[in-house]
Amino acid sequence: MAERVHGDELDVIGIGNALVDVLSQATDDALVKLGLTKGAMHLIDEAQAASLYDAMGQGIEISGGSAANTIVGVASLGGRAQYIGKVRDDQLGQVFRHDLRSTGVRYDVPLAPGGPPTGRCLIMVTPDAQRTLNTFLGASVHLGPEDVDPTLIARGRILYLEGYLFDPPRAQQAFREAARQAHAAGRKVALTLSDPFCVDRHRAAFLDLVEHHVDIVLANEAEIRSLYQVTDFDAALQRVRGHCEIAALTRSEHGSVIVAGPEVHVIPAHPVATLVDTTGAGDLYAAGVLFGLSRGRDLATCGKLGSIAAAEVISHVGARPMVSLATLAADLLT
């Protein structure tokens, strides 16, 4: 393995909306009746969350949050990783903190003593294993620049930010401040576009970020097409390769493409015995890519690490790996 971290250096620091997932099975008909767009992330308020929860079947609670899932994946691959995100001092907040720390992730953002409860994402998984997200941000809206410590940011080889952070206004400030601090310390900044509708809500800001403020972009096909408002994947690919240092673009079962200037790698999806729940596929792909980049691996290896991590997480319910990714990817990591 090239380039281990030294001293108090970290591989990846992730900032995101801290959420507990509530996963439930649902039919396509149920989504239609509830007016939900399959596969998308819908922002909902506390009252909508209560009424949607009433309409849902029995659930399974598993810690989630897009960047948090990624950071857990980095730790599971053997990386040194830290997470920044806000939960409240309530039962779900304690669950979130416990689960993060139990995987070896460093997490020391104080639990909010008051205000809205810990955020949650009500997830409906349809028989095709597609997930439809309904996010009540809760305490996440209180994440702000004061939660970002420049000395911490300077220690991370890569700062990883989720596009979802653009929804709560103070988190957006924290995002911009952290990116500035990372670059000031000579570190790389990575961004996931998160969701095509999220891109839609913040397109101008995201275009500016991708062109001027971000080194590494992660996106799926729908998100990158939404960013450039093109229907053709290749057209989006040609646009993004001119804009940022590295772009890693996922295409579900068709694998992924990683571009870095003139260099292009087409990476196959890793085989999955049984596809159960696609929640977290993109998050874990990002974990593999970011861990590989942090350790100075070639881009093709980074993509393969992403494919292995994504394959693990879609083979079971929930967006956190259930086995050691370092063991699964041992052939690539030795």
Chain residues binding a copy of itself by CB under 8 A are 25, 53-54, 56-63, 72, 90-92, 95, 98-99, 102-103, 117-118, 317-318, 320, 322
Q: Which amino acid is at 270?
A: H
Supply the minimum distance, in Å, between the C-beta of residue 124 and a copy of itself.
13
Supply the minimum distance, in Å, between the C-beta of residue 30 and a copy of itself.
12
End-to-end CA distance of the chain: 6
Supply the minimum distance, in Å, between the C-beta of residue 81 and a copy of itself.
14
Q: Give the 3-state DSSP-derived string for 204-250, with helices as H, strands as E and coil as C.
A: HHHHHHHHHHCCEEEEEHHHHHHHHCCCCHHHHHHHHHCCCCEEEEE
Supply the minimum distance, in Å, between the C-beta of residue 59 and a copy of itself.
6
Q: Which is nearer to a copy of itself, 132 or 226 (CB)?
A: 132
Q: Is 128 exposed, middle or buried (0-12, 13-18, 19+ CB in 10 A)?
A: exposed
d(CA 325, CA 331): 11
Supply the minimum distance, in Å, between the C-beta of residue 17 and a copy of itself.
18
Q: How far is CA 266 from CA 256, 263, 308, 313, 331, in A?
A: 6, 10, 15, 21, 20
Q: Which is nearer to a copy of itself, 10 or 92 (CB)?
A: 92
Q: Given the structure tokens 């500016």, which residue do they identify?
A: 208
Q: Which is nearer to a copy of itself, 118 or 135 (CB)?
A: 118
Residues found in the chain: 334
Q: Which is nearer to a copy of itself, 162 or 277 (CB)?
A: 277
Supply the minimum distance, in Å, between the C-beta of residue 316 and a copy of itself.
8
Q: Which residues contact 21 (CB under 8 A, 6 or more apart)?
A: 61, 62, 63, 64, 120, 121, 123, 279, 318, 319
Supply the minimum distance, in Å, between the C-beta of residue 90 and a copy of itself.
6
Q: Which is nearer to a copy of itself, 87 or 227 (CB)?
A: 87
Q: How far is CA 97 from CA 85, 135, 144, 309, in A?
A: 10, 19, 18, 22
Q: Which is nearer to a copy of itself, 59 or 145 (CB)?
A: 59
Q: Which is nearer to a copy of itself, 75 or 178 (CB)?
A: 75
